[in-house]
Amino acid sequence: MIRTIYSENGAVCILNQNLLPAQVTYECVTDFRDLVRAIKELQVRGAPLIGVTAAYGIALAMDQAPLSDEEMDHYFEEITNSFASSRPTAVNLFWAIDRMTRLFESLRGRAHQDIQQRLWQEAENICAEDIATNQLIGEHGVPLLPVGARILTICNAGALATCGYGTALGVIRSAHLGNRVGQVWVCETRPVLQGARLTIWELMQDGLPVRLITDSMAASVMQQGQVDAIIAGADRIAANGDTANKIGTYALAVLARYHQVPFYIAAPLSTVDLMIDSGQGIPIEERNPDEVRQLGGIYVTVPEVAVYNPAFDVTPNSLITGIITEAGVIFPPYREELLRLKGE
Ligand code: MRU
């Protein structure tokens, strides 16, 4: 299994995804600021993994926490603020920070060492739970697919976006284990090519029948009747089911409706944000214009051209056939089902 993150001898080690597929390089850091930077620069990316990285980062930083209670509280807040400002869209980041904060608050007054140990343990727990959750998502998703399914996906919602197995790719992996996958169409996912660089690499390691297309080819492949289902991940699902995911996902959902192809979102319940009523309230990250101006570090346009570079878009609930979670698959209308599954 691909490892995306782990702790070793008081350091946190991450697989630098910017170097994939050419190089498989783990970088071990002891300064939490290096993890904040790794999230911003997409060395680690994907909603669940961003959250797990913040959890490990908080534990790492607290190894250097000041001794007095008051100073420790202040220091904790500074660390969580710096992770919270790393990337705005994936709610799993804030979910993980909240979970670490609740634990920290419950440990007030305990010995320093005890607090540190419990925070490390919590980060490990979040990571282990993530893998178990993804396996359940995989299991629940399989019956939605026909035997020999030709599935189209975008970005990377796989082992590389999580602690292992993956969400959308978890479903595809489970279907492959049951011999149900005929073809996986992978959109390259401009601007930074998570599909071409990461999903292709990850699925080829497991021997899946992948085929790479540029994003603009998806319509034609669907028109030819070569897609049985689309499965995408999610960065944040609003209370009504509207879903933010990698830019280009919305276009696929529109195309899927036109071509009568089922469009599924696969995501853990930690990606559901009941505090946000609809997609309009989801903050969408805008990234460095050079991601669009360049390909592999080389300008493919006039270097000073004005650019719009939103990293995510929002797919309205009306275009989503079903949402595959660890607690089962839900169908529209989503609001009540999401409330029920989140237990609120
Ligand atoms: O910008 P990224 O690479 O972090 O975007 C990732 C995605 O959009 C994924 O589909 C999403 O986070 C789900 S990952 C299980």
Percent of the chain with pLDDT over 70: 100
- The SS3 of residue 224 is coil
Confidence of residue 69 (pLDDT cuts 50, 70, 90): confident
User: Exactly one of 31, 34, 235, 273 is catalytic; which is it?
Assistant: 235
DSSP string, 147-175: TTEEEEE-S--BGGGSSSSBSHHHHHHHH
Instruction: Among 105, 135, 165, identify where a domain stops.
Output: 135
Instruction: From the CA of 158, give the closest atom in ligand 1.
Output: 15
- Show the domain range for 10: 5-135
Q: How many angstroms is it from 39 CA to the middle of ligand 1?
A: 12
Q: Which atom of ligand 1 is nearest to 92's Cα?
A: 12
Number of domains comprising the chain: 2
* Span 111-123, average pLDDT: 97
235 is catalytic: yes
Quick one: 90 and 148 in the same domain?
A: no
What is the average per-residue pLDDT within 133-148? 98
pLDDT of residue 248: 98
Whether residues 47 and 172 share a domain: the answer is no
Instruction: Let me know whether 177 and 286 are in one domain.
Output: yes
- What is the tens place of the pLDDT at every residue in 234-244? 999 999 999 99
Give the contacts of 263 (CB within 8 A, at least 6 positions apart).
Answer: 229, 230, 232, 252, 253, 256, 257, 315, 319, 320, 321
Q: Are strands 243-246 and 236-238 parallel, antiparallel or unpaired?
A: antiparallel
SS3 33: helix
Which H helix or E strand runs over 230? strand 229-232
CA 285 to ligand 1: nearest atom: 1
Task: List % helix, strand, coil for the chain (3-state, nearest 5).
Answer: 45, 20, 35
297 lies in the same domain as 170: yes
If phi > 0 it is left, if psi is from -120 to 50 it is alpha, else beta; for residue 260 that is: left
Ligand 1 neighbours (beta carbon < 6 A): 45-48, 90, 155, 157, 161-162, 167, 194, 233-235, 245-246, 311
Q: Is 106 helix (H, G, I), strand (E, B) or coil?
A: helix
pLDDT tens digits, residue range 159-203? Answer: 999 999 999 999 999 999 999 999 999 999 999 999 999 999 999
- From CA 3, how far away is CA 319, in angstroms rounded? 34
Among all chains, which residue has been given the structure tokens 């691909």?
Answer: 2
Arithmetic mean of pLDDT, 88-104: 98
- pLDDT surpasses 90 at 91: yes
Are residues 284 and 312 located together in one domain of the fold? yes
Model confidence band, residue 13 (pLDDT cutoffs 50, 70, 90): very high
- pLDDT at residue 344 is higher than 80: no
Pocket test for ligand 1, best of 131, 155, 236, 323 (most atoms within 8 A of CB): 155
For residues 343, 234, 309 and 302, what is the CA-based torsion angle, rounded to 10 degrees?
170
Same domain, 273 and 181: yes
Q: Is 245 helix (H, G, I), strand (E, B) or coil?
A: strand
